[in-house]
């Protein structure tokens, strides 16, 4: 397989040594009626969210979350949760926030490394070195769909697959300033594809001027370098740039699976090599014609080689795959204050992506290489008006949007392993176009001294299947200043992708009559903060209808995409954080049960139980911090049920990470991380059916140096 260069995420389950927080939106341009019951956010929140959306925000410099008080954490900006401002206790959604300090201290190398320890969320390796976010139990082959990814407010979901995780699995961590992961249906604000959750990525662009560089080296040939700079632009503006590159050579990973013919097991050798480059340039101009303007240019290149491929059934002992991606994006917009409470925000964006997936495939007794190439783009316009109704004690926002998604070309080329051309086949999705118009309305009302209601809906009008409305509602009771009880409801939908509507020649029939998948979720959340302790508990239940699946047509003797699935999930999660002097202790966990309501089969590759414990202590008069984190997962198999191979129960996943970080001066900081301290042979499930599971990384270490000029 040809070596493919440049970026991807190592989607091993990462252990966050500093956890996440729930914070308020921080939009100073909008006034929402409130009383003194301002929530004090916790360091990590794992209840299931139901309602989210973008909100205006000011750029903030990176801060060390572990050194902040619980009250200070509430002042951080969270743009993904709502069109209107909200605090931890008053919001009708839940968001996990990660900063660079979090992923640096956890030793994360690629984006999803920073998310894998969140209870109720499972970061699972997919194909070609990609990974996917499985949320609340729904882990299966097509779980690469259903989690919307936003980059500085721009949706990255494509039309061909309804997912960015195949074509662009990640943006390099070195250019990011924050990640926000929302669990639960988000279509009421984000539309299609925010089915199980939303991942909002924010790139560097802080108001704080200066230059910072960092370099990381690790065993196994891992390297990373990043450079970030922010400078004034005019009297009230600034411009910023960020560039990052990382990669790793041949990892000599081995995966063993049983031999279906008997005898010695089959061993698959994988390189798991990757390389990435990302560049971002942004500018902001304040008070120009009464508007504050901003814009950005984004360039990204990613490649991986010889990761897990199409699974044991299709690829046998040659279960290998890789990816090569080129991506470019432009976005620009402005905001204007229209009165004491009213404001208007406008934005335009467009991106282009060129992607190639390379896999080995057994065909006619021989092994060939299949390359699936695609070219796609997406453009959009959005306007958001925010205002306040004092007489009704209500804040409200209206968002209008229009988008066009294009599949310029998709085709498959087959070569022999020696490189000889065999065939090329056009894909039926080539030339697909989708136009989407949307209107979103959100309200936040104070009903009484201790009661608040958050409610709204989004209407989407699709050119290829019609209209869909996504409602949401939340009732929040705050009996005391530092407590809240919430009853939340939300509905989400996922529009059928071009691949599902058009199918593949001689493989799967398309279906132009496909309807959107829908999911309804209810949640009960209890939250409390007292002194140096924070805790939260959550119960949830979801019902997934009109699920799109491949069905064998007896009359035509071929498979076809149809709306036939019905799924159910329920579970509980909890989180506790305690600070005492120089010590900090965190404990969280989740139990999730999910199944196909038609067949009764459980989603057997999602961990039934998971837990994370962490302990940190400040040393050297507060200049240093040493921490240890332990991650457990149990109750999952190596491959999904229903494959021609029989699923095998995987051993309990247990991983211990240790970190020491030290701020030697205002300019220089060093971080040393050892992951998988006890060198356990942890295995993770394979949604594509790589029998025996996918090996996680063994013991490894990184040393990172950061210098601020």
Higher pLDDT, 73 or 550: 550
Give the per-residue pLDDT at 312.
81
Flag the least confident range among 79-93, 107-121, 179-193: 79-93
Contact present, 700 and 220 (Cβ < 8 Å): yes
Q: State the residue for tokens 């991986």.
A: 304
Contact present, 253 and 129 (Cβ < 8 Å): no
Range of the domain at 378: 65-708
Give the per-residue pLDDT at 331.
97
Q: State the residue for tokens 């498959």.
A: 412
pLDDT band at 644 (very low <50, low <70, confident <90, very high): confident
In the chain, what is the straight-line distance between the N-terminal and C-terminal CA atoms, in Å?
43
If you average pLDDT over residues 611-620, what whole number do you get?
95
CATH code of residue 625: 2.40.170.20
If you average pLDDT over residues 545-560, what whole number do you get?
87
Instruction: Output 633-636 pairs: Cβ under 8 A, ≥24 positions apart.
Output: 633/13, 633/122, 633/607, 633/609, 634/607, 634/608, 634/609, 634/610, 635/607, 635/608, 635/609, 636/604, 636/605, 636/606, 636/607, 636/608, 636/685
Whether 29 shows a pLDDT value over 90: the answer reads: no
What is the tally of structural domains in the chain?
Answer: 1
pLDDT band at 9 (very low <50, low <70, confident <90, very high): very low
Q: Is residue 29 a part of any domain in this protein?
A: no
Each residue's pLDDT tens digit, 275-286: 999 999 999 988
If you average pLDDT over residues 536-562, what whole number do you get?
89
Give the per-residue pLDDT at 222.
94
pLDDT band at 335 (very low <50, low <70, confident <90, very high): very high
State phi, psi for 411 to the nearest 5 degrees. -155, 160
Q: From the CB of residue 626, how many other CB atoms can be counted at a distance below 10 Å?
A: 17
Farthest-apart Cα atoms in the chain, separation: 78
Alpha-carbon span 200 to 79, nearest angstrom: 8
Q: Is residue 74 a part of any domain in this protein?
A: yes
Alpha-carbon span 183 to 197, nearest angstrom: 4
Q: Is residue 18 a part of any domain in this protein?
A: no
CA distances to 270, 368, 426 from 414, rounded to whole Å, are 21, 7, 12
pLDDT band at 704 (very low <50, low <70, confident <90, very high): very high
pLDDT band at 20 (very low <50, low <70, confident <90, very high): very low
pLDDT band at 95 (very low <50, low <70, confident <90, very high): confident
Residues with Cβ within 8 Å of 458's Cβ and at least 6 positions away in sequence, in order, are 187, 188, 189, 190, 191, 438, 439, 440, 441, 469, 470
**Please, how many CA atoms are within 13 Å of residue 486, restricted to the half-sphere of its CB?**
33
Q: Is residue 32 a part of any domain in this protein?
A: no
Q: Is residue 229 a part of any domain in this protein?
A: yes
Whether 6 shows a pLDDT value over 60: the answer reads: no
If you average pLDDT over residues 170-197, what whole number do you get?
91
Question: Residue 391: helix, strand or coil by DSSP?
Answer: helix
Higher pLDDT, 261 or 300: 300
Whether 25 shows a pLDDT value over 50: the answer reads: no
State phi, psi for 414 to the nearest 5 degrees. -115, 130
pTM of the model: 0.88
Whether 69 shows a pLDDT value over 50: the answer reads: yes
Q: Is residue 48 a part of any domain in this protein?
A: no
If you average pLDDT over residues 47-67, what whole number do you get?
39
Give the per-residue pLDDT at 165.
75
Alpha-carbon span 638 to 632, nearest angstrom: 16
Flag the least confident range among 394-403, 519-528, 550-559, 619-628: 550-559
Whether 24 shows a pLDDT value over 80: the answer reads: no
Contact present, 683 and 694 (Cβ < 8 Å): yes
Each residue's pLDDT tens digit, 290-316: 899 999 999 999 999 988 888 887 887
Whether 244 shows a pLDDT value over 80: the answer reads: yes
Whether 655 shows a pLDDT value over 80: the answer reads: yes
Give the per-residue pLDDT at 391.
92
Whether 333 shows a pLDDT value over 60: the answer reads: yes
Q: Is residue 12 a part of any domain in this protein?
A: no
pLDDT, the chain, mean: 85
pLDDT band at 453 (very low <50, low <70, confident <90, very high): very high
CA distances to 212, 542, 669, 697, 705 from 660, rounded to whole Å, are 21, 41, 11, 20, 12
Q: Is residue 42 a part of any domain in this protein?
A: no
Give the per-residue pLDDT at 340.
87
Whether 163 shows a pLDDT value over 60: the answer reads: yes
pLDDT band at 540 (very low <50, low <70, confident <90, very high): very high
Give the per-residue pLDDT at 68.
53
pLDDT band at 75 (very low <50, low <70, confident <90, very high): very low
Q: Give percent of the chain with pLDDT exceeding 90.
A: 55
Contact present, 493 and 195 (Cβ < 8 Å): yes
Residue of 603, 8, 583 whose CA lies nearest to 251: 8
If you average pLDDT over residues 119-125, what whole number do you get?
89
Contact present, 115 and 135 (Cβ < 8 Å): no
* DSSP of 655-708: EEEEEEEEE-SSSEEEEEEEESTT----EE--TT--TT-EEPP-SEEEEEEEEE
């Amino acid at each position: 397989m040809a070596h493919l260069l440049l970026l991807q995420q190592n989607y091993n389950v990462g252990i966050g040594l500093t956890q996440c927080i729930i914070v308020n939106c921080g939009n100073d341009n909008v006034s929402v009626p409130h009383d003194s019951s301002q929530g004090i956010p916790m360091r990590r929140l794992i209840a299931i969210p139901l309602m989210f959306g973008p909100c205006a925000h000011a750029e903030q410099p990176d801060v060390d979350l572990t050194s902040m008080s619980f009250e200070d954490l509430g002042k951080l900006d969270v743009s993904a949760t709502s069109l209107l401002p909200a605090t931890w206790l008053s919001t009708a959604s839940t968001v996990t926030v990660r900063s660079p300090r979090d992923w640096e201290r956890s030793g994360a190398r690629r984006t999803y490394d920073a998310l894998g320890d969140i209870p109720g969320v499972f970061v699972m390796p997919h194909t070609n070195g990609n990974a996917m976010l499985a949320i609340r139990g729904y882990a299966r082959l097509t779980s690469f769909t259903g989690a919307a990814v936003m980059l500085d407010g721009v949706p990255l979901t494509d039309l061909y697959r309804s997912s960015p995780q195949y074509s662009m699995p990640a943006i390099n961590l070195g250019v990011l300033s924050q990640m926000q992961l929302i669990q639960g249906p988000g279509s009421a604000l984000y539309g299609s594809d925010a089915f199980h959750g939303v991942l909002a990525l924010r790139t560097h662009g802080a108001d704080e001027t200066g230059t910072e560089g960092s370099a990381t080296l690790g065993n196994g040939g891992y390297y990373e370098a990043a450079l970030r700079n922010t400078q004034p632009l005019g009297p009230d503006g600034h411009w910023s740039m960020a560039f990052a590159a990382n990669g790793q050579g041949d990892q000599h990973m081995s995966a063993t699976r049983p031999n279906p013919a008997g005898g010695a097991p089959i061993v698959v050798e994988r390189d798991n090599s990757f390389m990435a480059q990302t560049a971002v340039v942004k500018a902001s101009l304040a008070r120009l014609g009464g508007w504050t303007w901003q814009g950005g240019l984004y360039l990204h290149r990613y490649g991986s080689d010889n990761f897990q491929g199409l699974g044991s059934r299709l690829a046998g002992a040659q279960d290998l795959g890789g990816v090569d991606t080129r991506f470019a994006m432009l976005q620009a917009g402005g905001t204007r204050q229209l009165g004491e409470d009213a404001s208007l925000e406008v934005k335009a964006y467009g991106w282009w992506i060129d992607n190639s997936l390379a896999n080995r495939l057994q065909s006619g007794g021989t092994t060939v290489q299949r390359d699936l190439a695609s070219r796609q783009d997406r453009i959009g316009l959005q306007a958001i008006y925010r205002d306040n109704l004092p007489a009704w004690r209500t804040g409200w926002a209206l968002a209008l949007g229009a988008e066009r998604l294009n599949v310029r070309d998709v085709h498959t080329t087959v070569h022999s392993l020696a490189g000889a051309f065999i065939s090329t086949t056009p894909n039926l999705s080539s030339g697909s176009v989708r136009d989407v118009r949307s209107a979103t309305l959100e309200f936040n009302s104070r009903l009484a001294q201790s009661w608040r209601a958050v409610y709204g809906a989004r209407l989407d009008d699709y050119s290829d299947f019609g209209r869909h409305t996504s409602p949401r509602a939340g009732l929040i009771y705050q009996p005391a200043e530092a407590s809240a009880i919430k009853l939340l409801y939300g509905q989400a939908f996922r529009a059928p992708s071009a691949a599902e509507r058009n199918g593949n020649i001689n493989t799967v029939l398309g279906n132009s009559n496909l309807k959107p998948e829908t999911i309804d979720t209810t949640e009960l959340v209890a939250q409390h903060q007292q002194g140096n302790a924070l805790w939260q508990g959550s119960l949830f239940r979801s019902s997934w209808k009109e699920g799109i699946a491949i069905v064998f047509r007896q009359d035509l003797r071929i498979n076809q995409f149809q709306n036939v699935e019905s799924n159910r999930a329920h579970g509980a999660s909890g989180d506790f954080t305690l600070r005492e002097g120089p010590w900090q202790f965190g404990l969280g966990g989740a139990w999730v049960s999910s199944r196909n309501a038609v067949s009764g089969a459980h989603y057997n590759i999602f961990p039934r139980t998971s837990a994370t414990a962490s302990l940190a202590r400040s040393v050297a008069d507060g200049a240093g911090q040493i921490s240890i984190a332990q991650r457990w997962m149990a109750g999952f198999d190596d491959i999904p049920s229903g494959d021609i191979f029989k699923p095998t129960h995987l051993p309990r996943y247990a991983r211990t990470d240790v970190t020491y970080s030290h701020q030697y001066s205002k300019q220089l900081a060093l971080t040393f991380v050892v992951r998988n301290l006890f060198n356990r042979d942890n295995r993770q499930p394979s949604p594509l059916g790589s029998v025996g599971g996918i090996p996680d990384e063994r013991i490894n270490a990184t040393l990172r140096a950061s210098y601020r000029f």
